[in-house]
Chains A and B, each alone.
Chain A
């Protein structure tokens, strides 16, 4: 019997790979360590935290802190519990993302597929609104919302924000890369404008929609200034805002509720992170894939 097995190739240390990994590991630790510190503090009684600051051991307060974070209200009305704020944040994030995607897709559809008279001009007008972020137009926007009686409502929170130049732009570029023949084949197959949009364009744009959803959801979730202005009722508070509310206690004479505030902060981080992890393949595809 002949022995044809070869000696395993000698592993060589590739310094460049090692260096790459060192940089990546360092970067990850840099981002993660503060989170770990925050997590550690959520497991300690607040008094401990104030006395000793961050430590290397875990305490037993996670459960009680979680209860406080999720179910205890901090305001007068007793309505802004953690669960309520989480719910509000989700409504804002999802409404914001879905609204922007729906509106952006439809605007792009009109711009790309219909012979509008001033399509290019319209596109550039939409595009220049990128130069006017919410913060610039926040006072007039507020006034409009207020006059329409939409303060303290999800409509008022979401609708004024869903016109999106970014989404319109991305969908326009994407639609333009879809081969002309596909449109023509669909026309001959008897698909009218609405059918074409729903049967062909939307399914083809899946990955793009997913990518937009991630970006817009995180963007909406993290909104701070706008919700602060539009909603004053405590049951409309979002998480990002609620945390601030709790840490305001720092300025008082009570013992600040470190555990609760930190835990809420962690909870606020979680949904965007999960969405990115869950959708990341689609996300990369949506922004890089060009062959259809």
Chain B
């Protein structure tokens, strides 16, 4: 078990492309950290640098207090689970799981015992003599997990391990992986572009965008206090509503007049971006803000109302009890739930 520390780690690919700008953060012992961001933002690059599969251009990476920049992946005491599982197709499940131990000259009897234990933990015992091609996607994913846990490493690395599975299996595996990590207490870094996975699994989330960190925080911090419009719109489904607003006379105003909340004294007047989570807007016939519903989206447990507010697209999330038809209505926005962002930089104010 170990702490992972990145100190101004940077990655420039040989073709000159800077995939990760100098980045620093620390992962605590036993923590489950999720790296999330859109495709191409450098998540895999960062993870692969931690694994040692990719050279670190600049900066220092330490695992368990030792700088490991020049340590071979095999000697970093890590285990990695890949998106396409990367099982050895010609080996049985037993050999797949035991291969890392065999290479480390562990006695055969001990390997067998450890493989059995891992297989039991992952419900793979009856498949031990099958080849990967004779397994379902979920079972293959479990074998990949088995290969990781059997070595009892200091650090687990996951690169989108669930994205090849169907939605139902994904939900199930998500819970299993999280439970397993809790039980073993192994520090883990998990890469995904699925924000639901990030929210549900992480102790802390790192949101990446174009090779730099937008925000680090617990799922609730990320969700409720996004550091930028990027984080606000990336996390949450449907995403946070972002609308243009103004600060005038110490008040946030939309629609050229409707006052929503007071801002601290001394804030400059001018354009800002206002962020409202769809579930934080409350339908209220006597509310201050007019809202024109154009589509009601039925989602079973709840409904999404898509429409326009202050001339801009806006979505409201209501529970299934609220029976509503398209048309004109009004909203109340609770000042404590609103997020304010700089109109230019998108950073939170």
Using a CB–CB cutoff of 8 Å, the interface residues on chain A facing chain B are: 179, 181-182, 184-191, 195, 199-200, 203-204, 206, 292
For A184, A185, A187, A204, the residue with the greatest tally of chain B CB atoms inside 10 Å of its CB is A185
- Report the minimum CB–CB distance from B89 to chain A (whole Å): 6
Q: Is B183 part of the binding interface, using a Cβ–Cβ cutoff of 8 Å?
A: no
Contacts of B104 in A (CB 8 A): 190
Interface contact tally, CB-CB below 8 A? 55
Contacts A184-B53, A204-B89, A292-B89: A189 and B82 contacting too (C-beta < 8 A)?
no
How many chain B residues touch the partner (CB < 8 A)? 21
Contact B74 A187 (CB under 8 A): yes
Q: Is B103 part of the binding interface, using a Cβ–Cβ cutoff of 8 Å?
A: yes
Contact A185 B103 (CB under 8 A): no
For A182, A184, A204, A292, the residue with the greatest tally of chain B CB atoms inside 10 Å of its CB is A184
Bound-state CA distance A68–B337 (Å) is 102
Contacts of A186 in B (CB 8 A): 88, 99
Given contacts A189-B74, A189-B147, 6 further A-B contacts (CB under 8 A): A181-B83, A185-B88, A189-B99, A190-B104, A204-B89, A292-B89
- Report the minimum CB–CB distance from A128 to chain B (whole Å): 27
Contacts of B84 in A (CB 8 A): 179, 181
Bound-state CA distance A199–B88 (Å) is 10
Contacts of A191 in B (CB 8 A): 74, 99, 103
CB nearest neighbor in B for A203: B90
- Report the minimum CB–CB distance from A194 to chain B (whole Å): 11
CB nearest neighbor in A for B72: A187
Contact A204 B103 (CB under 8 A): no
- Report the minimum CB–CB distance from B52 to chain A (whole Å): 8
Q: Is B35 part of the binding interface, using a Cβ–Cβ cutoff of 8 Å?
A: no
Bound-state CA distance A206–B90 (Å) is 10
- Report the minimum CB–CB distance from A265 to chain B (whole Å): 41
Contacts A204-B89, A292-B89: A184 and B103 contacting too (C-beta < 8 A)?
no
Bound-state CA distance A179–B99 (Å) is 18
CB nearest neighbor in A for B78: A188
5 tightest Cβ-Cβ pairs between the two chains A and B: A181-B86, A190-B103, A189-B100, A190-B74, A185-B86
